Structure 1
Amino acid sequence: MLFNVERDLGDLIEGYLIPDGFSDHPSIIVSGIEGILARLTCDQYREAVVESGRHGTGLVGFRIDNSVVADLAQREILGVHDAKSGLLIYRRIPASNRKSLKIVRLETQIVPATRLDRFCSEGFQYELHSAERFGHETTLQAFHLDTLDSVYISGRLLLKNYEAFLDRGFQAVALLTEPYYEMAARIFVLKKMARVPLSFLGDRDRLILTPAAEHFADVDLHSEASLKSALKKAPPKVRSVLTSPMTRQLVCTTPEQFVTKADVAAAIELLSRFTVVGHDSEPSLFQFGVAELLGRPAEDIPLPTRHRVLEEAAVRLREIPAAETLVEHDLIFDHYVRQALRVGSFES
């Protein structure tokens, strides 16, 4: 999905929304403080969209004026969303409250830290949480919103695909997770996924994770023997879901790509470009770093909740050789990151 607002003149907002479907008819919802103000079908012709083969009719542009929303120029707070997906296209917020920052928060846990995102994204004109749910093209478009200087993006991204934006005004932040704890969390999510749909997972995640969900459906997190057996019998598609996910997020460009020990140095090198890096073993470092960046009290910044069941499962996983093999590269990465955090610098 491609989208942007080309201009906001106060009493006129013009932009476009190019849907994924070649023949789909895009529409938007315009909302204000009081709720939905208008539903509008995109009816403005864009010749370049037809010529590029992106859409059949080219009717992907929208025009919002006083005939659509009364007193448009006087509205300091306004939102434009894709009617189908709910994706934010554009937002007005009072200039006095707007943060002139571009931030990407790399999510390192399979369960997104939604409270953290809601807190950190306050005051940003554009926000996209859990961006992996929307796919690469939509996420890339959010990075390309070059008419805005107030953007917050978060997600379990393959950051190598977006590294160039660190040279275009974006600052990256991340709270890293201990590898065995994240493995325990992933197995827990896979077990749950086998029984009920999980709203925080996108379509691509569901496709990739389904074989692993079926494999771990009956595993007992409280039993080292059950975990050991499940890991030992896991086929390649299942093993890949648990294989050094942190290192892969920093060096891979596709979910199918694998990593080697040599990639750890490249992962640390990319992490060294982050503005704020923290580790869940010492979360206060992350809190203070983000607080300084956002100009907000460190004690107000919410951290992801740690769960005793997962901590206990992580202890069991540490005793299983098959688990160590799966997260071997993340363990090396984690060791050097903790060491770097202690001395205050990253070296690959």
Structure 2
Amino acid sequence: MRYFIDHDHGDSIRGWIVPDNPLAISRVMVSVGGQRVAEIPASVTDEAFKRNGWHATGQCTFVVTPAEVPGLPDIARLELYDADTNVLVYRRMPPDGLVRLRTMLINTGIEPETALQAALFPHFQHCYFGIHKLPDEILTCVLAGPAAPSAFLSGAVTIPRYENFMTPDLMITAILVQDPYTEMATRMLWLKARAGDALDPTRGWRLGPLAEAASFSGDYDFTDVKSLKRYFRMLPEPAYRLLYNPLTRQLGTRMPEDRLHPGNSIAAIEILARVGIVGHKTRYHAFASTLFDQLGIHAPVPVPPPVPAETQALAERLRTVKAVEEMLVFDVAMSDAVKDSIDKSWS
């Protein structure tokens, strides 16, 4: 799916959605106050979509007017969603107090940065969380959306693949680096918590290739060092890929299946140097304060949720396992470099 918003003149909102099915007619859902009030099909044909090979008929453009949504000019807040994918394509909000910048928070953990997302959400017209889960065409539309100058995006995107959308002239970029051992512990416990789902045919499909890793993790005792050593000796490929230098993989490769080698660590450091704001989870206040200052937001810095005691304990055990040290050597080097840089520059 591709989409674009041409205008919002108050009494008229016009845009286009090209569905994945070239024979289908796209439909936009209008939501007001959390309630869906109208479903509007594309009604305008544009031959350009046919010429470009995007659609069989070119009937992709929709127009929202008071005829479909009574009182449209007076509605201060509304949202438009693609009816087939439920992807937000446009949000109307009062302009007062909005940050007029496109901002990307690059998540490096398996768990999203919910505290920052919640704190920044009210300050932007458009917000997209977990964008790495979107199909490539939709993600490209979200990243390249010049018609949405007030936009906050976050997700664990593979940066080399999309870095051309993240240049300083297009958006502010920010990345929060995790402690590698804490992040590995978080990922292992994330897998273990889904072991039951992996064994259930009605739910296991949602984990995709990680179903095998989750099922495998459920058989090991993470509180026992001997069990941990066996765990890393017997890791199946999907688990190894999830746990092996994940930050280096995210910064230094273009595709999830790419092999990771020492050269990727050099590329990862170079890409990290091009990110606008670089922070570390253990220096959270410095990162959040810098981000808020860059965005011109005058609000209290959010407090991140504490690391669960189980995760902290597992992270400490992992520091004693030789195999883990070898699996995180690139990420540890980057993590230490980021912390050293912050400590030297932040006071």
Length-normalised TM-score, structure 1:
0.90
Aligned to 1:196: 197
Q: Deviations over 1:216-263 (max 9, x none)?
A: 122222222222111111133331111111111112110011332333
Q: Give the drift of 1:287.
A: 2.1
Aligned to 1:254: 255
Q: Give the drift of 1:204.
A: 10
Greater CA deviation, 219-228 or 258-267?
258-267
After TM superposition, list the pairs within 5 Å mapping 1:228-239 onto structure 2.
228-239=229-240
Q: Deviations over 1:275-315 (max 9, x none)?
A: 32221222111121122123335644242431111111111
After TM superposition, list the pairs within 5 Å mapping 1:1-348 onto structure 2.
1-33=1-33, 35-164=35-164, 165-196=166-197, 206-297=207-298, 299-344=300-345
Counterpart CA distance in 2 for 1:115 and 1:24 is: 39
Asked if the contact 1:291/1:301 (under 8 Å) is kept, the reply is no
Aligned to 2:201: none
Report the secondary structure of 1:253's partner residue.
coil
Change (3 A) 1:259 1:301: same
Aligned to 1:200: none
Report the secondary structure of 1:166's partner residue.
coil
Output the amino acid matched with 2:224: S
Report the secondary structure of 1:292's partner residue.
helix
Report the secondary structure of 2:209's partner residue.
helix
Length-normalised TM-score, structure 2:
0.90
Q: Deviations over 1:94-145 (max 9, x none)?
A: 1113211110000111111234212213221211100011122211111111
Counterpart CA distance in 1 for 2:113 and 2:329 is: 25
Counterpart CA distance in 2 for 1:128 and 1:58 is: 28
Asked if the contact 1:107/1:175 (under 8 Å) is kept, the reply is yes
Asked if the contact 2:30/2:39 (under 8 Å) is kept, the reply is yes
Change (3 A) 1:116 1:344: same
Counterpart CA distance in 1 for 2:92 and 2:299 is: 27
Change (3 A) 1:242 1:129: same
Asked if the contact 1:113/1:304 (under 8 Å) is kept, the reply is no
Counterpart CA distance in 2 for 1:194 and 1:319 is: 25
Asked if the contact 1:177/1:280 (under 8 Å) is kept, the reply is yes
Greater CA deviation, 305-314 or 257-266?
257-266
Counterpart CA distance in 1 for 2:69 and 2:188 is: 48
Report the secondary structure of 1:97's partner residue.
coil
Counterpart CA distance in 2 for 1:204 and 1:156 is: 21
Unaligned runs of 5+ in 1: 198-202
Counterpart CA distance in 2 for 1:54 and 1:84 is: 17
- Aligned pair count? 340
Output the amino acid matched with 2:46: R
Q: Give the drift of 1:179.
A: 0.6
Asked if the contact 2:253/2:264 (under 8 Å) is kept, the reply is no
